Chain A
Amino acid sequence: MSKKIAIVEDEPAILANYCDLFRREGYEVTGYADRPSALRGFAESLPDLAILDIGLGEEVEGGFELCRELRSRSSTLPIIFLTARDSDWDAISGLRLGADDYLTKEISLPHLSARVAALFRRQRALEAGAQESPKVRTAGHLSIDEARFRVTWRGEPVDLTITEFWMVSALSRYPGQVKSRDQLMQEASILVDDPTITSYIRRIRRKFQQVDESFDAIQTVYGVGYRWNNG
């Protein structure tokens, strides 16, 4: 049985394009143009994954409302924000509401579908539980579960989005080696500008620091990029 994806997007052309993409990839896709219709659809049955725009027609923060609604119904449902808003503030708000990733609209369809696939993979791994042998890798105090997209630092879990996870994964794979911003973007399946990468890194550091204040494993190599330092 194919997975159900709900896409809420007020721009019909984009909605149609996304729907086409995911249908081609074999998902069952339902598109909604505004919040009320999406709510009605969700009331009938919850999708397996939701892609939400934030501004929905007149409702400037309709996407946030929907996210809150979905999270209250299911704590595991993967939610992706896909929006034209690129401010840190919106990203932080969206992630705080429990979204699994926050993407801006210049993301390419392959990058988007890579995330969707990853989220489903993660869900499958979580459902399988301990039956599947975990692919856990360690680097210093860091341990990375590539299957479940789970990261722990000194045994404490660190809550990362898919994009952030990929970045940490890429950095920590070869500790001490400098990863340029371009490389990081490639690994994390995004295409953004340098300052956005900088703010991604800053956000990742902050998340680790919430677990361990003395965290400084991610080092900036000015003019080149970043490297993971096991210390």
Chain B
Amino acid sequence: MAEIRQGRGWSLRRKLVLITLLPLLAAGWWGARYLEGLERQLRQAEERTQTELGRVMAAVVAHSTLPLEIPPATAGGHLWAPRLATPPQLDGYADDWQPLQHQLPTHTLHNGTLRVAAHGTDLWLLLEVRDSHPNWCSPLPTASLKCDHLRLDLQTADGSLNVWRLATSAPGWIETHRWGGSPGFPFTIQGQWRETRGGYRVELRIIGGTAARALAVEAIDLEENRPTETPALLSLAIQPESWQRLLEPLLAPGQSLQLTDRNGRLLVRAGDATVSPRLLDESPGWLFGLYRLVTGMARSEVSPPPPRSVLKEWAGATPPAVVWRPIRESRLALLTSLHLLHNGEGEELRLVLARTGAQLLLLQETAMARLVGAGTVIYLLTVALLLAYATRLSWRVRRLRDAVSASISEQGQPLHTPPPLPKGKDELGDLGRAFDDLLERLRHYTRYLEVLASRLSHELRTPTAVVRSSLDNLETLPLPPEAGTYARRAREGVVRMERLVTRLGEARRLETALHSTPRRRLALDSLLRDLVEGYRMSHGEQRVVGKIVSPLPVVGAADLIAQMMDKLVENAIDFSPERSTVRIEAEQTDRNAVIRVINEGPPLPAEGPDLFGSLVSIRRREGAHLGLGLFVVRMIVEYHGGSLSARNLEQPTGVAFIVELPLPEERGQDPSNGRGATPHE
């Protein structure tokens, strides 16, 4: 098989994949950018709607005649108490507070938490205190209160302050101790004290407590031994029912509104902007992950998780401002906007409108996520298909290349029975057919060249016959001596010419012989030994030596192998210096019987024409050398399925002609012309 030189560049497959992948990647990138743009536009539309809605709400609030009380400025922060639909049971348990948890602001004390709610005119407090060793008070009420207790300060609208100490000797109802303040106090306090894991809980009901405008709660732990000082008062804003009634109907589900004073203290809250967990669970997370990945939303568009309070962050902001905040796993966004307004008394208020837009956004994102998902799947599918197609195309081209290279022998001649070229109905198939045509023509041409010699031989035979018969006749006549000399020279010439003519026809005669000579199993070693003996007899003992290894079974035609050896030895003798030795060696390799005919003649040129072609003679030597001998050798070797090569030798210099004939398969089918294996001929 002739090796076709392979290019060093990229393979067709790689190029095809690259060419197809680049636009696909570009399309993918463009798709991602498109989605990103679409998303941004949708969000902008949402923001505009939000801003408008906020403005309307602000107008409603500004023009409302409902009273809105601004709590007094205090040192300790702000507490906002929502209105409860039903009052909790005063039992010291937190269960009935639990459902309200998400809308109940929790105030943190230094050793616990405080929650406040209102119902009617009562104020409810739930206090959770961390205390590993509660110290109960002694059963008798004492003024010293050497035990863990609570201090509760309440300030009314007129600024009067009342202080209580609440203590108990056992879980249950609490004793209250007035600890100063103005007399005629309007409040009554009830309470339940419960031990909890790692502390205690106190549930308080302050009857008429909605009249308070500020409060302070401190859990005093005997072991902490903190210096007793007046706790900082927290301003208290209780959800005004009138405002809630006004605003609730204006808000759509999923919207919430908060009204704060200039300092961000919550005064009114309406609506609910929490997202139902069901909705969150319905959306497939991986799709959103992919969506976020593609659009890059997670990084650029959505702010980091909110600080503890939106209100605080916006305390100094210039409204209207809109911001997106991620809710839970950054999948859904909460749209929040801030608006400024002034109420009838010229007091500056801030309005924070929040909207999950859960349904809308969720649907939107689901649709987009689906789009991205489907797009990605199609994209991957296309890439896979293109890859497969490119691979197949490349494979077909490579197969064609291999088939073409397999159709031409190492000597550059088209094989007579080449492997079939791959066919198809497309251009590659056409290329295969074109190659077929080309090879066929090459085959014809090679054939023409090969038979040229025998044609020449045939055509030359008649004129040589004319010369020879004329000379034969001439010699029967009485000739002057000079004429006899010329006639003799002419005869020598014609004899040589006849020999050439015969040789020219040899290849053709051999081809005929090949078709009619059966191959059978024979002992190559004994055949070679006989031949070597013969050569020693005809060329002299010194001239030819043999080194034959036994056994060497081959399947072949003895006559042809003998003819082949004749040619090789003749060639070796012709090209080696006189009195040098021609060596004939034979041995067995894994799969072949190897015959080497070695002469000590001049080396072959490194690069040159095919030595074993018809009419090729490389080394110049006096005498006729048509270069047909090795061609005959090649024909015989090919007929036997073997291979032929020539190699220059270094020590001693010379040339080796190497014939490799395949060994018969052991015990296998005899590949001869249908005849059974017969013992050595």
Contact = CB atoms under 8 A, between A and B. Distances in A.
Interface of A: 11, 13-14, 17-18, 20-21, 24, 84-89, 104-106, 108-110, 180, 191-196, 198-199, 202, 220-224
A86 B455 CA distance: 11
A195 B469 contact: no
Given A105-B462, A198-B563, A110 B472 contact: yes
B513 A199 contact: yes
B518 to A, nearest CB: 11
Given A13-B466, A199-B513, A223 B562 contact: yes
Nearest to A191: B498
A223 B534 contact: yes
A87 B512 contact: yes
Contacts of B663: none
Interface of B: 458, 461-462, 464-466, 468-470, 472-473, 476, 498-499, 501-503, 505-506, 508-510, 512-513, 516, 527, 530-535, 537-538, 558-559, 562-563, 565-566
Contacts of B470: 13, 17
A223 to B, nearest CB: 2
A222 B527 contact: yes
Contacts of B464: 105-106
A108 B475 CA distance: 12
B459 to A, nearest CB: 8
> Chain B binding site: helix, strand, loop or mixed by DSSP?
helix
Contact of B462 (A11, A87, A88, A110): A11
B474 to A, nearest CB: 10
Contacts of A108: 468, 472
A87 B563 contact: no
Given A84-B465, A104-B461, 14 more contacts: A11-B466, A20-B473, A105-B465, A106-B501, A193-B506, A194-B566, A195-B513, A196-B509, A198-B513, A199-B513, A220-B558, A221-B530, A222-B558, A224-B538
Contacts of A194: 563, 566
Contacts of B534: 221-224
Contacts of A87: 508-509, 512
B538 A193 contact: no
A193 B558 contact: no
Contacts of A105: 461-462, 464-465
A126 to B, nearest CB: 29
Nearest to A223: B534
Contact of B461 (A13, A106, A195): A106
A193 B462 contact: no
Nearest to A85: B458
Given A88-B509, A195-B513, A18 B562 contact: no
A223 B538 contact: yes
A86 B509 contact: yes
B472 A223 contact: no
Contacts of B503: 193
A222 B562 contact: yes
Contacts of A192: 502
Given A11-B462, A20-B473, A106-B501, A223 B532 contact: yes
A144 to B, nearest CB: 25
11 contacts: A13-B466, A14-B465, A87-B509, A106-B464, A108-B472, A109-B468, A195-B506, A195-B509, A223-B530, A223-B537, A224-B534
A64 B45 CA distance: 106
A87 B505 CA distance: 9
A223 B466 CA distance: 34
Nearest to A201: B559
Nearest to A86: B505
B472 A202 contact: no
A193 B473 contact: no
A206 to B, nearest CB: 10
A198 B535 contact: no
B559 A202 contact: yes
Given A86-B505, A89-B512, A198 B473 contact: no
Contacts of B538: 180, 223-224
B563 A14 contact: no
A121 B532 CA distance: 42
Nearest to B510: A195
Contacts of A199: 509, 513
Contact of A14 (B469, B499, B502): B469
A59 to B, nearest CB: 16
Contacts of A223: 530-535, 537-538, 562, 565-566
B461 A17 contact: no
A121 B388 CA distance: 85
